[in-house]
Amino acid sequence: MIGAGAMSGGRNGETPLSNGTVVDYDLIIVGGGLAGSSLAIALAGRSIRILIVEQQEEFRDRIRGELLMPWGSLEAKRLGIYDLLLESCAIEASYFSSFTKGSSPVTRDLLATTPAATCCATFPHPEMQTVLLRQAKLLGAEVRLGNGASAVTFGDVPRVHIGGDVKGLSARLVVLADGRDSRLRSLLGFDVLHDPEQLVTAGMLLEGDVNYSEFLAGEARPSANTVNLFYDPKGGRMVIAMRIAPRRNRIYLIYHKDVLPKRLSGRHSVDEMIRQLQAVGAPSHWFDQARQAGPLASFDGSHRWIDSPFRDGVVLVGDTAAATDPAWGRGLSRTLRDVRLLRDRLLESSDWRSAAEAYARDHDDFYGRMRRLEAMQTTLLFERGEAADKRREHAFALFARDPTRVPDVMGLGPEAPSDDQARARYFGQI
């Protein structure tokens, strides 16, 4: 466990290390979103001096993730933020309904069928960020808003420079949690790897009395919510819809990059977006009384990642470390897995450098499994052409007879099987 002497504050609020070096903070976190705030909350109450540096003073809607998968909800519980989110801005969706063209609808009772008896949770991303950052501050983290980190320097004692500060602030460890397009990550020379683009995700927010988490098949469960998914195998398109707050709904169109001639973005694309959503299966009554609120934008779905996201006092978490395809809705869950793994390693040892190296290995292992799982799904569900259609038809017939051929990524996350045998079973090769 962490040694008390290494963690206790020194004179003038500084922290002495075991070798006598004095640092300004134990941990400086660049980025006050889900990753940064959750990490601060998870380490609260342990005499760890934490500074969060966040460029934004207020968070706004930029069509970021708003869905925790059941395995992500478990991570949120392990980090102590799940109940906080439910009490403030989150909605539980205890069912998941899938509508595939040509097949009967399937509704899954998540609480009854997931290994940890957990379900999905949805929330508006800006409200979630505000709630968690406020909680981190209440628990003792120092928060600086409105003036982002301009530079970070490696070293035995890494430093973060804010604005025009030349000297910078020192820490035992610096955590970069500033998103998939992190400028500081590039300045530090981390090599970003990426897969070729295959899927595009377009999203928009709609307001009105309609509930996109309503039950469209089977008996309606009083006061329960479902996440609705529509899939068009021949058209290479998928729709995911959910209620994220009272009278607010998020809907996504996911499609193979070759399906549409141009990306959907801006107000001039709203009519085409709605046409595509309805063509995949979204009911027309959802749009009769709805009003667009916030932007309509499209995103490249290729994986981006850093091999071994730690170097010389600087550790990367969340989308800064690796970003999976947003089409599958696992980004927030993956981020919380990162935070929990780093939290656990830091609490195991007073040697934070070794702890960060161990975290990097943990991260690479589980992210590699997530990438394999999503590659399997993308290939089977969205690949185009006659051969792909025949492969899908063969695999779907086998799924109908034996559902265990489909890895339970929703319930198990990266623990779902992704080895060669699992892939062969999924594609119907064995």
pLDDT at 58: 85
Q: Name 120's bridge partners.
A: 93
pLDDT of residue 3: 31
Give the CA dihedral 404, 409, 411, 416, nearest 10 degrees.
70
Identify the pLDDT of residue 2. Answer: 30
Predicted pLDDT of residue 61: 81
Instruction: Please give the pLDDT value at position 63.
Output: 82
pLDDT for residue 16: 64
* pLDDT under 50: residue ranges of the chain: 1-12
pLDDT score at 301: 83
pLDDT digit string, tens, across residues 7-57: 334 334 566 665 557 999 999 999 999 999 999 999 999 999 999 999 988
pTM for this model (two decimals): 0.94
Amino acid 17: pLDDT: 63
Go through the domains of the chain in sequence order and give each one's CATH number: 1-89+124-194+304-430 (3.50.50.60), 90-122+199-300 (3.30.9.100)
Residue 62: per-residue pLDDT = 79
